[in-house]
Structure 1
């Protein structure tokens, strides 16, 4: 269960970071010279014992 909890928390953290990035971009969109930030996520295969 620890692995499932880790996966869930990692996804939640990525979602929270993406939401913070979007809100930062919206809040500063009218600021002169503002350059938008991008939130990047990457999927990768799970490896280890018990995974096919």
Structure 2
């Protein structure tokens, strides 16, 4: 299990159901981990201001 997978699993166990993201290449392992788990919905935003609510 990678650190990214551990983080995502911890979030799921804590009740997190949705992840709003604007991933780049540095977050690739997180994106892969999100793709492997069907229990968390990931909503991709095209700009950081969209996913942060600014």
Taking structure 1 as the reference length, what is the TM-score of the superposition? 0.30
User: Which structure has the larger Rg over C-alpha atoms?
Assistant: 1
Instruction: Tell me which protein shows more strand as a share of its residues.
Output: 2
Larger RCO of the pair (alpha carbons < 8 Å, separation 6+): 2
- After TM superposition, the score normalised by the length of structure 2 is 0.30
